[in-house]
Structure 1
Amino acid sequence: MNVRTLFATLFGLLFLSSATLTYAADDLESRRNAKLEATVMNPNLPLEKRIRALKKLQKDEMVNGRILRTFCVWDPLGKTGPISSTVEDQKLRSLHYGMDLSVITYQDESELVEALRSGEECDAALIRGVAAMEFNRFAGTIESVGGLQSRQQVQLLMQVIANPRMAQRLGDDDYVVLGLATLGSSYRYSADRKNRSLASFKDKKIATESFDPGMARLTEAFGADAVVGDMMSNVQKYADNEVAGMMSPIVAYLVMGSGQISGDVSIIDTPVAQSTIQLIGRTEKFPPGLAQILREDFLFKFDNYARRVDNEMALVPESFWAKDSAQDIAALEKHSLDVRLKLREEGYYDPAMLRLQRKIRCKFDPSRSECTNPKE
């Protein structure tokens, strides 16, 4: 073998060894990261161990040992409102997970949704479920009309969602659901407590929100005329008696303020949907492990968030509530089912979430006809 051949052979062996070592190092790093990811995603392990694994996975994202993220929050009452105040409290808790949060409050929910889309300011946005629909249909369908009937049902659903096996339904390449909490129920509001039956709403103008076609369809199902707008404009129309009623979450009462409420108006006490507040993040900012821990934290704090809602609902005077009739309750449930089925067929409501909601309703009341003859 001449010198040139020997040199070529040695160079080839060196190149092969280098490539093999590089491949082995990459493979080792990949296996190490997979093990860390499995640790973070395992809710049966101690939280501290999972957080240590998370910090190792996110080490390249950290600044001075913290993951810097910006949460944008919708609160119709501004920085001093109940939703914004809750997130400010969450900042301290997030430090435990290695996150350093900046919080920006929006009073205009549409503006916040646009800010999340652009990604220029908000890594995640805390918005209502109806507004979150465009980012995750599965989670947005939680607010389907009549889908869930009580806070207890929402809490059970949150337990299901917080299971790591549900992660694939809660995110895509662009957005991921990071958690949800109750925002109370949505109700029918009447401008005249003497005319509060479904029949009395026929051919009347009822304000519904542009974010929520389900409410508009339900309004039309009992013969009323849905006047679509955002929450603030709807509240103003209702307070000014420009509409005969309104379909809205209980938070609309807080937006109105007692000075805008006359003695004739009322809230009919049958919930038409469950209102939620959902944290939607940009996927590149919240990898699976971090997203999973945040969802579990929302579940852990569910009762705490619910108590805050109760404190706000306590501001609604007893005299403002009106009792619903058994006949209207039954009619409302039938109309709600029809609307859910139609919006499922049109591709708006998510079929998997509707099935899950039906199972939850049946767990609370197995005697329901839908438990043996399901349509969802």
Structure 2
Amino acid sequence: MTRYSFKLLFTVFALFWTAAASAATVQKSLCIWDLMGANGETYNLMKDYRVAARAWGVDFTLRSYSEEKIAAEDFRVGQCDAVVMTGLRTKPFNGFTGSLESIGTIPSYEHLRYVIATLSSPKAAKLMLNGDYEIAGVMPFGGIYFYVNDRDINEVGKLAGKKVAFFDYDKSQAKLLQQVGAQAVPSDVTNFAPKFNNGSVDIIFAPAAAYRPLELYRGLGRKGGIPDFLLAQSSLQIVIRANEFPAGFGQNSRTYINSQYDRILTVIKKYEKDIDPRYWFHIPDVDRARYTAMMRESRINLAKEGLYDKRLMALLKRVRCQLDPTNGECSDSQE
């Protein structure tokens, strides 16, 4: 074989291989909500996700969104093949994982590690499916805390009459605020922070990731603070239309996202350290026990009303009892 013939054969083989690989890869769009748009940590994570997804037969085009509502709507109407958004926004697509932000159910990042690993397991694959939709990954987004414009609001009884911003697409939040006598002010991701910063509301709840991008220190001012009592865990979730992706894509995606837990947690802890330490104030242990009991009673009622998925509540209780078997709730069957 001449040198020219060898080069020709090699070129033909390379072109054939490239064409075959291209034919085996489908083009899809991934719409990503990130507070910082294309400059944010979530968007950067999804750049690496895009590289990994090629091995599973998908080549994503990434689209950034700074308004979550628009990202969710574009996915709903088919302008996005996949979307990254908060767990609260996923409820219409999967009520099981959409209940992860339930109050008081995941008390630490170690608990959350177990939860996400469990949800990412092939054994949980059926629970990730709901009609045409599939949850292709669950990521931590940080612990949710109250932000108050006055440190004197330091116990539940003082919430009565206070204006609290809540996300109007999550009925469970409105119910919880009603129970404590607070004035629930309908809001969404685009306007809850400005309402707090300009004094229209007294209280918001948010993860640390929102503190600097949304300038929440303006609303905290000199008198405000953040009680060091964890309310819930926030999450980001990838939602796809299962039948439009290659077989096994969802499981491959969940496995990959789970492998990134420590990387994501490092970013979350960095955000938490960015909060000025003077804003944190301590809730006494005696009050913590009382608030934990109140949250449990509330979520049991919300699950009975169908606002939380009972299957997930049972799973989260198993995780809590696995990590702390002495917990009093482990001896009853209410969840």
Taking the aligned partners of 1:259 and 1:200, their CA distance within structure 2 comes to 22
Counterpart of 1:103 in 2: which secondary structure?
strand
Equivalent residue, structure 1, for 2:183: 225
Counterpart of 2:191 in 1: which secondary structure?
helix
Taking the aligned partners of 2:155 and 2:218, their CA distance within structure 1 comes to 23
Counterpart of 1:178 in 2: which secondary structure?
strand
Q: CA deviation at 1:213?
A: 2.7
Closer, same or farther: CA 154–106 of 1 in aligned 2, 3 Å = same
Q: CA deviation at 1:307?
A: 1.1
Taking the aligned partners of 2:185 and 2:118, their CA distance within structure 1 comes to 35
Equivalent residue, structure 2, for 1:84: 43
Q: Which of the numbers 358, 369, 374 marks the counterpart of 2:317?
A: 358
After superposing the two structures, state which structure 1 stretch, 176-185 or 365-374, moved more: 365-374
Query: Could you give the per-residue CA deviations for residues 258-292 of structure 1, whole angstroms, max 9, x where no partner exists?
Result: 67342222111111110000001112223551111
After superposing the two structures, state which structure 1 stretch, 241-250 or 253-262, moved more: 253-262
Closer, same or farther: CA 258–239 of 1 in aligned 2, 3 Å = closer
Taking the aligned partners of 2:298 and 2:186, their CA distance within structure 1 comes to 17
Equivalent residue, structure 1, for 2:141: 183
Q: 5 Å matches for 1:144-163?
A: 144-163=102-121
Q: CA deviation at 1:86?
A: 1.7
Equivalent residue, structure 2, for 1:337: 296
Taking the aligned partners of 1:243 and 1:86, their CA distance within structure 2 comes to 33
Equivalent residue, structure 1, for 2:172: 214
Equivalent residue, structure 2, for 1:114: 73
Counterpart of 2:161, as a letter, is D
Counterpart of 1:85 in 2: which secondary structure?
helix
Equivalent residue, structure 2, for 1:283: 242
User: After TM superposition, which residue ranges in structure 1, 4 or more long, deviate above 4 angstroms?
Assistant: none
Taking the aligned partners of 1:212 and 1:191, their CA distance within structure 2 comes to 23
Taking the aligned partners of 1:162 and 1:131, their CA distance within structure 2 comes to 19
Closer, same or farther: CA 331–202 of 1 in aligned 2, 3 Å = farther
After superposing the two structures, state which structure 1 stretch, 125-134 or 186-195, moved more: 186-195
Closer, same or farther: CA 288–367 of 1 in aligned 2, 3 Å = farther
CA contact (8 A) 2:171 2:307 kept: no
Q: Which of the numbers 271, 279, 302 marks the counterpart of 1:320?
A: 279
Q: Which of the numbers 14, 34, 48 marks the counterpart of 1:75?
A: 34
Q: CA deviation at 1:67?
A: 2.7
After superposing the two structures, state which structure 1 stretch, 210-219 or 350-359, moved more: 210-219
Taking the aligned partners of 2:147 and 2:81, their CA distance within structure 1 comes to 35
Counterpart of 1:254 in 2: which secondary structure?
coil
Taking the aligned partners of 2:262 and 2:159, their CA distance within structure 1 comes to 36
Taking the aligned partners of 1:130 and 1:196, their CA distance within structure 2 comes to 26
Equivalent residue, structure 1, for 2:14: none
Counterpart of 1:215, as a letter, is Q
CA contact (8 A) 2:172 2:307 kept: no
How many residue pairs get aligned? The number is 316
Query: Could you give the per-residue CA deviations for residues 9-35 of structure 1, whole angstroms, max 9, x where no partner exists?
Result: xxxxxxxxxxxxxxxxxxxxxxxxxxx
Taking the aligned partners of 1:344 and 1:70, their CA distance within structure 2 comes to 35
Taking the aligned partners of 2:225 and 2:132, their CA distance within structure 1 comes to 42
Taking the aligned partners of 1:310 and 1:258, their CA distance within structure 2 comes to 17
Closer, same or farther: CA 332–104 of 1 in aligned 2, 3 Å = same
Taking the aligned partners of 2:169 and 2:314, their CA distance within structure 1 comes to 23
After superposing the two structures, state which structure 1 stretch, 133-142 or 203-212, moved more: 203-212
Indicate the structure (1 or 2) with the bigger Cα radius of gyration: 1
Query: Could you give the per-residue CA deviations for residues 208-258 of structure 1, whole angstroms, max 9, x where no partner exists?
Result: 112333333222322222212102311111111222211223333133226
Q: CA deviation at 1:65?
A: 4.1
Closer, same or farther: CA 258–205 of 1 in aligned 2, 3 Å = closer
Equivalent residue, structure 2, for 1:139: 97
CA contact (8 A) 1:69 1:100 kept: yes
Q: CA deviation at 1:317?
A: 1.3
Q: Structure 2 unaligned runs (5+)?
A: 1-18
Closer, same or farther: CA 158–258 of 1 in aligned 2, 3 Å = closer
Q: CA deviation at 1:64?
A: 4.3
Query: Could you give the per-residue CA deviations for residues 155-198 of structure 1, whole angstroms, max 9, x where no partner exists?
Result: 10111112212111111331000011100011111101233222
After superposing the two structures, state which structure 1 stretch, 358-367 or 333-342, moved more: 333-342
Taking the aligned partners of 1:74 and 1:113, their CA distance within structure 2 comes to 9
CA contact (8 A) 2:105 2:232 kept: yes
Counterpart of 2:100 in 1: which secondary structure?
helix
**Structure 1 length-normalised TM:** 0.79
Counterpart of 2:199 in 1: which secondary structure?
coil
Counterpart of 1:250, as a letter, is A
Closer, same or farther: CA 247–331 of 1 in aligned 2, 3 Å = farther
Root-mean-square deviation over aligned CA pairs = 2.0
Taking the aligned partners of 1:227 and 1:325, their CA distance within structure 2 comes to 28
Closer, same or farther: CA 258–355 of 1 in aligned 2, 3 Å = closer
Closer, same or farther: CA 324–96 of 1 in aligned 2, 3 Å = same
CA contact (8 A) 1:74 1:108 kept: yes
Counterpart of 1:270 in 2: which secondary structure?
coil
